[in-house]
Amino acid sequence: MQDALHQLTYFSRNRLAGLEEALHDGIRDILSVARRNNATVGVTGALIFNSLCFAQILEGSREAVEHIFERIAQDDRHEDVTLLTFSPAAERLFGNWSMAYVGLSARDTERFGGFAGESGFDPRRMSADALGQAIYQLVYDRDGPA
Ligand SMILES: Cc1cc2nc3c(=O)[nH]c(=O)nc-3n(C[C@H](O)[C@H](O)[C@H](O)COP(=O)(O)O)c2cc1C
């Protein structure tokens, strides 16, 4: 069904170069556009990132998620965009956020030691399920339940 709820997960390599401040400005730009566009088409989700990678979950109608992901995949602020899952979902995980985000700063790396690890957060080494759960955990630990 075209408008049934779908969920998409991908990860990519961050190409926003530079110092922490430049990285944060870059993320702020991405988030403000993401929140505006996603709200318009009923897409919610979460983005997590560090200086090396992004991982993102998008949820909404199949058509809306597909459309947004097609644009994201062509964005040269990241590369090696790897789709992990795109399938029907029973419910939204991030219904309260047009785009929640968690940056893995040094403090987060400490706090989420098991996940961020010594060599940094590396979604290439995680299963889709583990990555989805980790994003969920990070967002809900940060912002609390709805
Ligand atoms: C890591 C990453 C995540 C992004 N997430 C979203 C998103 O959730 N929604 C969105 O509309 N654009 C997102 N973008 C931006 C899109 O690639 C694109 O620049 C934007 O959708 C263009 O919107 P505009 O035509 O309104 O300017 C993301 C970009 C990057 C690099």
Ligand 1 near 6 CB (within 6 A)? no
Kindly report, residue by residue over 46-58, the tens digit of the pLDDT: 998 877 889 999 9
Measured on CA atoms in the order 137, 142, 145, 146, is the torsion positive or negative?
negative
Which ranges of 1-144 does DSSP label H, i.e. alpha helix? 20-41, 62-73, 106-111, 113-116, 128-143
Kindly report, residue by residue over 66-93, the tens digit of the pLDDT: 999 999 999 999 999 999 999 999 999 9
Residue spans of the chain under pLDDT 50: 109, 112-119, 146
Closest ligand 1 atom to 49 CA: 1
Q: And the tokens for 118?
A: 């010594």
Supply the pTM of this predicted model.
Answer: 0.86
Out of 72, 80, 101, mutate this one to test ligand 1's pocket (max ligand atoms within 8 Å of CB): namely: 72
Closest ligand 1 atom to 35 CA: 9
Which domains are assigned to the chain? Answer: 5-143 (3.30.70.100)
Amino acid 24: pLDDT: 79
Amino acid at 38: N
Closest ligand 1 atom to 45 CA: 8
Out of 33, 41, 83, 121, mutate this one to test ligand 1's pocket (max ligand atoms within 8 Å of CB): namely: 33
Amino acid at 130: A
Report the C-alpha gap between 110 and 82 in whole angstroms.
Answer: 27
Report the C-alpha gap between 139 and 13 in whole angstroms.
Answer: 20
